[in-house]
Structure 1
Amino acid sequence: MLGNSLASSFLTYESATLCSTYFSDLSAFAPNCAPLKLNISHRITPNAQSNVFRQRSCKFVGASRNWGLHSVSQTQSVALLENEERKMWDSCRQALSTLKFSVEEADVILSKAFGWAHSPYWGEERVKEVPKGEMVNGTLDYLRNLGLSDDDLYKLLKKFPEVCGCSLNDELKMNVATLEKEWGIKGTSLRSLLLRNPKVLGYNVDCKGDCMAQCTRCWVRF
């Protein structure tokens, strides 16, 4: 009897500890989620506790697995590119590799910039296209000519990967000219601005207070 009582107490304590640790870790991962309450007392048998814990665990493991599959699905279509398109994509990867981006990081940048993965910046306007090496290289070269180092470009692309998909002439160059003409921002001041708010390079509308529902690309944010 004493042995059974001790074993029951130990299992109760172990289950409670595992659950506490599990949901504590989950809380740290998703701090905005409402805390889950799991009432464990000596009235619940060890088997019941174990079943409850397994059910809770399976739900979150399943959710995590679904999220992973969804993320993978965004890049699966890239693997199905035809030979010529694959060469174009690889040339863009090569351009980004000079900034020390891994293949996986380069794919994320290109996917967000050219409509292969959803980006709130574009909304619904971005049409999927295969990136061209000359376009990506042209954007990087132009930004280097503005005084940005490769380390600067790495930081800028981490913040704003969509810049690779912006028009060099109609957006980047025009916006840099506007910054200098309207606010006198150039040189080191321009470099500091672009590192702080690189999305200014892609602004293409100015609602002037009359909302056009394109807030992510509007000069009103500047």
Structure 2
Amino acid sequence: MVGNSLASPLATLGSAKCFRHSAVDLVTYTNVLPLRLNSSYHGVNGGVRTSSYSRSKWIVFCSTTQVETSNEDPNIWEECKEALSCFDFSVEEKDKILGKAFGHIHSPYWTEERVKENPKVETLNQILEFLRSLGLSDEDLHKVMKKFPEVLGCSLEEEMKPNIGILENQWGITGKQLRNLLLRNPKVLGYNVDCKGDCVAQCTRCWVRF
């Protein structure tokens, strides 16, 4: 049954399925809906119907999460979610992890510095492989991303690798002790400030918390 028109095109769907309506057929997409601010939206069997759409901006919907991307190909977002499939996250959890890591969902961790960007599958895989090389199993990585989803948005070369070097060379933390530390405090992977007690208002990323 066709419902009343919604007041806002950014309404959250009760279902994880979204629909694109055309004059020819009805194509089902998973969690991806084209956004056109001037289009009119109507309920169609729990989905969304629009007579025209723009490819320049997309909104990813799940039951309580909305993630807006500017990439013309929403499949890139879906490919990044697929890269997380071995960690037993729900579709909604994957959207939240990627959203917080790349600035699409607000996270206090980044303060105001995080510029919204789209993730890249190659970068995600490089980060995951690096973390595995530190002795973290996929079960461990599930815990790390659950506690600290922003880890996927940290710089591998400028933050993670140097920080592991500091832990190993300056603190003598290696092997099982390093694994336990990362499970307990994964935010250490993203530290990039050391105020030495003279606060510079970057507390979530400061070594003073270590």
- TM-score, reference length from structure 2: 0.68
Determine the structure 1 residue equivalent to 2:123: 135
Determine the structure 2 residue equivalent to 1:217: 205
Q: 1:75 to 1:209 in 2, by over 3 A?
A: same
Aligned length: 149
Q: 1:88 to 1:188 in 2, by over 3 A?
A: same
Deviation of the 1:82 alpha carbon? 2.0
Q: 1:212 to 1:116 in 2, by over 3 A?
A: same
**Rounded Cα–Cα distance in structure 2 between residues aligned with 1:122 and 1:73:** 22
**Rounded Cα–Cα distance in structure 2 between residues aligned with 1:188 and 1:130:** 34
Determine the structure 1 residue equivalent to 2:98: 110
Pick from 62, 75, 82 the counterpart of residue 94 of structure 1: 82
Greater percentage in strand: 2
Q: Is residue 2:174 matched to residue 1:186? A: yes
Contact 1:74-1:116 within 8 A present in 2 as well? no
Deviation beyond 3 Å, 4+ runs, structure 1: 71-74
Determine the structure 1 residue equivalent to 2:141: 153
1:17-60 deviations in whole A, cap 9, x for unaligned?
A: xxxxxxxxxxxxxxxxxxxxxxxxxxxxxxxxxxxxxxxxxxxx
Unaligned segments of structure 1, at least 5 residues = 1-70
Contact 1:91-1:133 within 8 A present in 2 as well? yes
**Rounded Cα–Cα distance in structure 2 between residues aligned with 1:102 and 1:132:** 20
Contact 1:200-1:219 within 8 A present in 2 as well? yes
Unaligned segments of structure 2, at least 5 residues = 1-61
Q: CA RMSD in A?
A: 1.7
Range that drifts further, 205-214 or 93-102: 93-102
Contact 2:87-2:142 within 8 A present in 1 as well? yes
Determine the structure 2 residue equivalent to 1:75: 66
Contact 2:100-2:150 within 8 A present in 1 as well? yes
Contact 1:110-1:164 within 8 A present in 2 as well? yes
1:177-222 deviations in whole A, cap 9, x for unaligned?
A: 0001111001100000000000000000100111110000000000
Contact 2:144-2:183 within 8 A present in 1 as well? yes
**Rounded Cα–Cα distance in structure 1 between residues aligned with 2:209 and 2:136:** 23
Deviation of the 1:76 alpha carbon? 4.7
Q: Which amino acid aligns with 1:82?
A: E
State the identity %.
Answer: 63
Secondary structure of the structure 2 residue equivalent to 1:77:
strand
**Rounded Cα–Cα distance in structure 2 between residues aligned with 1:76 and 1:117:** 7
**Rounded Cα–Cα distance in structure 1 between residues aligned with 2:103 and 2:200:** 22
Greater percentage in helix: 1
Q: Which amino acid aligns with 2:174?
A: K
1:163-190 deviations in whole A, cap 9, x for unaligned?
A: 0000001111110000011110011000
